[in-house]
Structure 1
Amino acid sequence: MKVLQATHPKAGAQWISPALWVFAAASVLSHVASVLLHLPTVVGGAMLALSLLMFGLLHGASTYGWRAILFFIAICLGFSNAFENLSIVTGFPFGSYHYSDTIGPKLFLVPLLIGPAYFGVGYLSWTLARAILGDTSGRLRGSLAVQTPVIASFIMVSWDLTIDPMMSTITGNWIWHHGGSYFGVPFVNFLGWYLTVYVFFQVFALYARRLKGPRPDMAGYWIKPLFAYTSIIAAPILSLLFDTQAGGVTDPSGAVWQLHDIRAATALVGLFTVLPFWLLAVFRSLARVGE
């Protein structure tokens, strides 16, 4: 079997490490600014998507090489856009919904910002899964080629559990035609999310296990993505603490949801799903440092 040779950044590219700190900090600040300053979704979303896109591109290139991380981006954008358009037209796999015009221009029926967000958070979820499972090289030897996509997909869906009710039911960035039991979001949406992200994670896993090349050797290799991920943990908590808008909102099914209840529930979900994944990754990374 032919083994792919990873094309790694040149050893002299010392700018990558500080650039990663900049993009990690930018992702945190964009999330905080979006919540505290009530930025329009297209502005805050663009800031977050761009910073996470650049972070994933550079960190991924340092791990897998430029060719491999571009392949990751291509399959992520391709599968996510295809499944989203399929669901908007047919209702499978997420359910019946459509995007409003609040997130900017679209590729077919899906806003352009959605793809970079899939990749940015997807790459962080992938990296957290690697940290939890102890994959220090990124080459997914043995059972890691199956375990990593499974865990990364759960991490990715835990993020959607914290954002979907607020982004759809409260702000109307996308509209669920028949509402849903999770604060206006249908149960099947999260199954669809898992299917979609698992597909492109598994495809990349099969690709990555064929790569060869040096282990990642970058100061703060694990710290940077863990720092970038803190924005995902903090966002629903900040919304609960600082968004004081009261009252209720009615979804298309006629169900009335209280704004405070949505914010409180998503903050709880973040604390007891997103945060534990992050802590597991932190603890495993610290344990390796002490070895």
Structure 2
Amino acid sequence: MSTSQTTHRVAGASWISPALWVLAIASVVSHFTAVLLHLPQAVGGAMLALSLLLFGLLHGASTYGWRGILFFIVACLGISNAFENLSIVTGFPFGAYHYTDAMGPKLFLVPLLIGPAYFGVGYLSWTLARAILGDVSGKLRGVLSVATPVIASFIMVSWDLTIDPMMSTITGNWVWHHGGDYFGVPFVNFLGWYLTVYVFYQVFALYARRLDSPHSEIPGYWIKPLLAYSSMIVAPVLSLLLDTQAGSVTDPAGTVWQLHDIRAVTTLVGLFTVLPFWLLAVFLSVRRVRE
């Protein structure tokens, strides 16, 4: 890393570190507030997406430099938007669906809010994968250039398993034209999710191998993304405990689903998929600090 890069990073760390604490806490508070107050997706989703977007940009800049994290966000937004529009038009790779107007304005056929959410949660999932695999420098040397995208993609899909039935079947932010086995969501959707996030992760991994910029030693480097990600685990639990709305909903295929069953099962899925990834990242990060 050049002297100019080092100076830039050290100077930036004085304000980046407290800003990251604020954004990590803001993402958790906004997520919980949206669940507790039943905010419209255009409001609650926008608060969460904005805080995660800014968090990912700043934390990513401290890891890969501004050029690196901008490449990450361009690859993420470009590839995910292309795959989403392709699926809406052709049914590949997610299945046949369309977005309603509940999430606000759209870029082509996809709401603008989707992009920041992809990037925000995508960057956190990437960072959790790095923590699990021991990638302390961000250089992605050797097998890490393949292993990190593979693990990060599983983390991303595990999160989608907790939100898709509620966001589509219950609240109608998007509609699956033929329903699906997983509370109105088709099986192929999750394969499409894995493909999409793996592609942009792998593209970035190949790019990141060229970077000579190990991350800055900002205080709480690992704990901040772990804190920001914690709301992804707790939010479904809060929804199950506090949302007492009973009844059922019918998907476009005519299948009737019980609201409580959707909330209960997605919470269980989160507790036994999202939570283990998070705990593994926490335990391994703590062990490295103690060593």
TM-score normalised by L of structure 1: 0.97
Q: Residue 101 of structure 1 corresponds to which residue in structure 2?
A: 101
Q: CA shift at 1:75, angstroms?
A: 0.5
Matches within 5 A, 1:113-262: 113-262=113-262
In structure 1, the gaps of 5 or more residues are: none
Q: Is the 8 A contact 2:10 2:216 kept in 1?
A: no
- Over 3 Å counting, the alpha-carbon distance change for 1:102 and 1:133 in structure 2 is same
Q: CA shift at 1:239, angstroms?
A: 0.5
CA shift digits 1:68-126 (9 cap, x unpaired) = 00000000000000000000000000000000000000000000000000000000000
Whole-angstrom CA distance in 2 between matches of 1:244 and 1:261? 12
Whole-angstrom CA distance in 2 between matches of 1:134 and 1:215? 13
Q: Is the 8 A contact 1:6 1:65 kept in 2?
A: no
Whole-angstrom CA distance in 2 between matches of 1:168 and 1:283? 34
- Over 3 Å counting, the alpha-carbon distance change for 1:246 and 1:149 in structure 2 is same
Whole-angstrom CA distance in 1 between matches of 2:53 and 2:141? 26
Q: Residue 11 of structure 1 corresponds to which residue in structure 2?
A: 10
In structure 2, the gaps of 5 or more residues are: none
Q: Which runs of 4+ in 1 moved over 2 A?
A: 3-10, 213-216
Q: CA shift at 1:215, angstroms?
A: 3.7
> What is the root-mean-square deviation of aligned Cα atoms in Å?
1.5
Q: CA shift at 1:5, angstroms?
A: 11
Q: CA shift at 1:10, angstroms?
A: 3.6
Report how many residues are paired: 289
SS at match of 1:65: helix
Bigger shift: residues 212-221 or 80-89 = 212-221
TM-score normalised by L of structure 2: 0.97
Matches within 5 A, 1:16-35: 16-35=16-35
Q: Is the 8 A contact 2:169 2:251 kept in 1?
A: yes
- Structure with higher helix content: 2
Partner letter of residue 114 of structure 1?
I
Q: CA shift at 1:7, angstroms?
A: 5.2
